């Protein structure tokens, strides 16, 4: 697990700037989790501003949780700058499959931009893969079929890394599949943990020399923090600040010791 621990150390040493065009429900959570993991957040979405902001960023995170046409325009403008500068782009297709607008927007961003990582729940990933999937709102979803196979097929189809979050997070590239078994059920009772995972994935993608390993390290880091926070929390309300504190306190040694990462 040492290689994963070194990625966290690199995040803390380099403090990459993670430009996030995200939703107004969890924007503050995403900014704070980025700071807690050791990176620097910027949350700019205006098309007039994102060109210059993306030029100085180390990663770009696009989250479609609260869509509007102006925000989508900003995502496209920022994404093209990121593509020109070889900056990793992380897409969180929140609620894809719940409404046609969300699904079409996610598909359009995938078609128009060289996405590096797609991170979503089972329903969202299943929808993008064309598999029978159920998405209810933006916080839950399910998929019919083998989750590893669905994730692998979508990764091969799109030529990018795909993360299907769940009790076991599945991370697939064209030729590698990893599982991360860290986490706690309380994470699913707090709005925004998926959005926060995308933010942290951006930080780790910026710092890692191997993006697949970076994705696994990001999911494991949050999962370990969730496990620790759950031990002292009384419920979702007290879990949130405990979770932020646990992320900030996490060390590379903690990640090396406690990560439950399997390569299949």
Report whether 118 contacts 125 (CB < 8 A): yes
pLDDT on residue 138: 52
Give the integer Cα–Cα distance in Å for 259 and 122: 22
pLDDT on residue 140: 55
Please determine, for residue 253, whether its predicted confidence score (pLDDT) is greater than 90.
yes
Helix (H, G, I), strand (E, B) or coil at 151: helix
Helices (H), the chain: 2-14, 27-37, 47-55, 69-84, 100-112, 122-129, 147-158, 193-207, 211-232, 236-249, 252-258
Dump pLDDT digits (tens) for 68-83. Answer: 999 999 999 999 999 9
Q: Is 140 flagged in the annotation as binding?
A: no
Give the integer Cα–Cα distance in Å for 42 and 15: 12
- Ordered by start, the domain boundaries in the chain are 2-263
Helix (H, G, I), strand (E, B) or coil at 179: strand
Q: Is 165 flagged in the annotation as binding?
A: yes
pLDDT on residue 1: 75
Spatial CA neighbour of 118 closest among 164, 84, 83, 156? 164
Please determine, for residue 145, whether its predicted confidence score (pLDDT) is greater than 80.
no
Q: Burial, 59: exposed, middle or buried (Cβ in 10 Å; 0-12, 13-18, 19+)?
A: buried
Q: Is 43 flagged in the annotation as binding?
A: yes
Please determine, for residue 129, whether its predicted confidence score (pLDDT) is greater than 90.
yes
CATH T-level fold of 2-263: 3.40.1190
Alpha carbon of residue 155 to chain centroid: 15
Residue 111 corresponds to which tokens in the numbers above? Answer: 């078609």
pLDDT on residue 146: 87
Q: Is 192 flagged in the annotation as binding?
A: yes
């Amino acid at each position: 697990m040492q290689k994963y621990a070194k990625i966290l150390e690199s995040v803390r040493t380099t403090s990459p700037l993670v430009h996030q065009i995200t939703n107004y429900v969890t924007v503050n959570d995403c900014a704070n989790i980025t700071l807690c993991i050791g990176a620097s957040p910027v949350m700019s979405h205006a098309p007039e501003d994102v060109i210059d902001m993306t030029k100085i960023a180390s990663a770009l995170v696009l989250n479609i949780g609260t869509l509007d046409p102006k925000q989508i325009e900003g995502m496209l403008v920022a994404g093209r700058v990121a593509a020109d500068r070889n900056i990793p782009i992380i897409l969180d297709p929140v609620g894809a499959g719940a409404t046609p607008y969300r699904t079409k927007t996610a598909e359009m961003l995938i078609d128009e931009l060289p996405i590096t990582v797609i991170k979503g729940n089972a329903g969202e990933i299943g929808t993008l893969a064309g598999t029978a999937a159920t998405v209810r709102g933006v916080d839950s979803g399910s998929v019919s079929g083998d989750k590893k196979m669905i994730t692998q097929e979508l990764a091969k189809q799109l030529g990018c890394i795909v993360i299907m979050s769940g009790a076991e997070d599945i991370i697939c590239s064209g030729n590698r599949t990893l599982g991360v078994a860290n986490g706690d059920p309380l994470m699913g009772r707090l709005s925004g943990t998926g959005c926060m995972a995308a933010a942290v994935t951006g930080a780790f993608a910026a710092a890692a020399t191997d993006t697949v390993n970076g994705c696994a390290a990001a999911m494991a880091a949050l999962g370990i923090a969730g496990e620790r926070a759950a031990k002292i929390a009384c419920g979702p309300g007290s879990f949130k600040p405990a979770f932020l504190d646990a992320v900030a306190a996490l060390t590379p040694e903690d990640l090396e010791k406690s990560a439950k990462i399997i390569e299949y």
